[in-house]
Amino acid sequence: MNELKLSKRLEMVANLIPEGSTLADIGSDHAYLPIHCYLKGIVPFAIAGEVVEGPFKTAKNQVNRLDLHTWIDVRKGDGLDVITTGEVNAITICGMGGALIASILESGKEKLAGVNRLILQPNISAVSVRRWLLHNGWKLIEEKILEEDDKIYEILVAEPGDSTQPYTSPNQTKELLLGPFLLREHSSVFVKKWMLEKENWERILSQLEGAAPSTEVEEKKVELTTYIQFVKEELN
Ligand code: SAM
């Protein structure tokens, strides 16, 4: 992978950025995504944010090597600290856990005024991101799922709006876990993902059966049993 040939995952993210957006890519690492989006004419300007010194330097070097520093600004900082309110209208946060993505959005909430699209790619726990969007007035408008190098990725796209709209059931828990659009689409990759997750949960549950009883263990068992039931209802 490089700035010209992105991974299938980042290519899919790039295709979800509205043309002409000013972009902030948070946790940009090598800055391949913003560089690619600029070179392909998708965005006229992008900020690449990185909190860790090593990837920050890598991103800076990449941008300088290609002489793109006028159009791609590499900034060091935590989450949305690297942008000012109103500076960008699209944000990508990719390749991190869902809980971390949700906490970055939560801590930088005030910076989201004027942002009209979030493209979020959690490696795990997409449910944490869906929950944050639901409770913060961000309407999930599209979801993608793909498999690359034996890993399955979900991509969530949200815009400001009625965040309850994509959810059809009175009990949103199942749709929050599986993804309302992905659940309806029911692709073979979706089925594969949840079959694998179910097997994993069943393994953990059987280990918990032998654990010393505690409130935490009991709560975990209830959660896993609920999730396993959701997957069984949808996939069997
Ligand atoms: N976004 C790229 C991708 O999807 O290929 C890189 C993903 S890499 C696995 C995650 C990057 O996020 C790391 O470079 C890490 O330093 C950065 N990161 C983690 N927490 C961050 C935060 N709070 N603010 C900014 N960057 C962060």
User: Does residue 3 have a pLDDT over 70?
Assistant: no
CATH H-level, domain 8-165: superfamily: Vaccinia Virus protein VP39 (3.40.50.150)
3 state DSSP class of 188? helix
Q: Which protein residue has the closest C-alpha to ligand 1 atom 27?
A: 27
pLDDT of 207 > 80? The answer is yes
- Average pLDDT over the chain, rounded to whole? 96
In the β-sheet with 72-76, what is the strand arrangement from edge to edge?
A: 72-76, 45-50, 22-26, 90-96, 117-122, 151-160, 138-148
CA of 91 to the centre of ligand 1 (A): 13
**151-156 mean pLDDT:** 98
CA of 13, closest atom in ligand 1:
4
Task: Dump pLDDT digits (tens) for 175-195.
Answer: 999 999 999 999 999 999 999
Least Cα distance to 144 among 122, 172, 117 occurs for: 122
Mean pLDDT of 105-130: 97
Cα separation, 161 vs 227, in Å, equals 28
Tell how strand 151-160 and strand 117-122 pair up: antiparallel
72 lines ligand 1 (CB under 6 A): no
Residue 30: which residues within 8 A CB-CB, separation 6 or more?
55, 58, 59, 62
* Residue-level pLDDT at 171: 72
Domain ranges of the chain: 8-165, 189-235
Q: Kindly state the average pLDDT of the residues 71-82.
A: 98
Ligand 1 binding pocket includes 27 (Cβ within 6 Å):
yes
Average pLDDT over residues 96-124: 98
Q: Are 37 and 14 in contact (CB under 8 A)?
A: yes
Whole-number percent of the chain with pLDDT over 70: 98
State residue 169's pLDDT score.
74
Total residue length of the chain: 236
106 Cβ closer than 6 Å to some ligand 1 atom: no
DSSP reduced 3-state for 81 = helix
According to the model, what pLDDT value does residue 5 have?
82
Distance 26 CA to ligand 1 centre (A): 7
| Mean pLDDT, residues 34-50 | 97
